[in-house]
Amino acid sequence: MILLIMAICVVLAFISFIYIPNKSVSAILAVIFVAGAFTTGVFVVKNWKDHYGLKEVTTTGATRTIYPVSSSNGMSTVIYSPIGTANKHQVYVYKTSANAKKTTHTQVSSTTKNKVIRTSGKSHIVTKTTRWAYKNDAAKIWFAFTGQDGQYIRRENKIYINKNWLVLSAAQAKALKKEMSSKTFQAKLKTQAKAYVTAQVKAAMTKDPSMSSADQAKVEKQATAEFQQKAIAKVIKQIQAKN
């Protein structure tokens, strides 16, 4: 409406100035219509620049389950990469299904805020999007067709990640993969694991000398899992300290 009124005022000001023979009437009408065009123009600019007549409206999208980028060595991992050099914003990489071949990432935008929240439940993501909307019906009528209604403002992704998952930067994930695949590291890990498991089984048998072979196997399996978890946690801590 306001764009139409502004256009009409401009046309009427032109007609008043050119085609009305009475100079006094012509001048008065021209001034009125120019003032009208100027006033409506001011409000159009305020609508575009200051979002006059608009309000912020935030909507929450559906909850989406996320899956780890990798699950090697019993570790479920989500990766993030910084945007720019200041590291004020990050992009998080994950999968949308357990069998997905390609990864998905959060939006690459400085207006997108990603907040990681640790949870004991399933990992998922909830997105809140804020856009401009008309304040009321009057604003909707006056500022129709200015293109501001529905304009995107910002976005917040709340990423709920299971507390047992790893959240690593791309550099940290690369360093971890390199370390875990090292033959030297694997040999060292194997030797340490054997010593740890042997000690755990020995301690268990000291407490219960009559322990059966089946129970010994259970202790051995549990000790192996514990050692692997501790060893990996130690490596990750070292990598995070460096990167």
Closest to 113 measured CA to CA, from 125, 103, 99, 102:
125
Percent of the chain with pLDDT over 70: 98
- Distance between CA atoms of 10 and 18, rounded to whole angstroms? 12
Reported pTM: 0.77
pLDDT above 80 (res 84): no
What is the average pLDDT score of the chain? 90
- pLDDT tens track for 164-204: 899 998 888 888 888 888 888 888 888 999 999 999 999 99
pLDDT at 186: 86
- Distance between CA atoms of 55 and 96, rounded to whole angstroms? 33
CB-based burial label for 40 (10 Å; 0-12, 13-18, 19+): buried
If pLDDT is split at 50, 70 and 90, which confidence band does 236 have? confident
**Backbone CA torsion sign across 174, 177, 179, 184:** negative
- Helix, strand, coil shares of the chain, percent, nearest 5, are 50, 25, 25
- pLDDT tens track for 109-129: 889 999 999 999 999 999 999
- Distance between CA atoms of 130 and 128, rounded to whole angstroms? 7
C-beta of residue 131 within 8 angstroms of C-beta of residue 151 = yes
Residues 6+ apart with CB under 8 A from 155: 107, 109, 111, 112, 113, 127, 128, 129, 130
Q: How many CB atoms lie within 10 A of CB 134?
A: 19
C-beta of residue 117 within 8 angstroms of C-beta of residue 160 = yes
Q: Can you tell me whether residue 44 is helix, strand or coil?
A: helix
Q: How far is CA 89 from CA 114, 128, 140, in A?
A: 8, 17, 35
pLDDT above 90 (res 147): no
Residue with the larger pLDDT of the pair 210 and 152: 152
Residue with the larger pLDDT of the pair 70 and 55: 55
What residue type is assigned to position 118 of the chain?
Answer: R
C-beta of residue 67 within 8 angstroms of C-beta of residue 125 = no
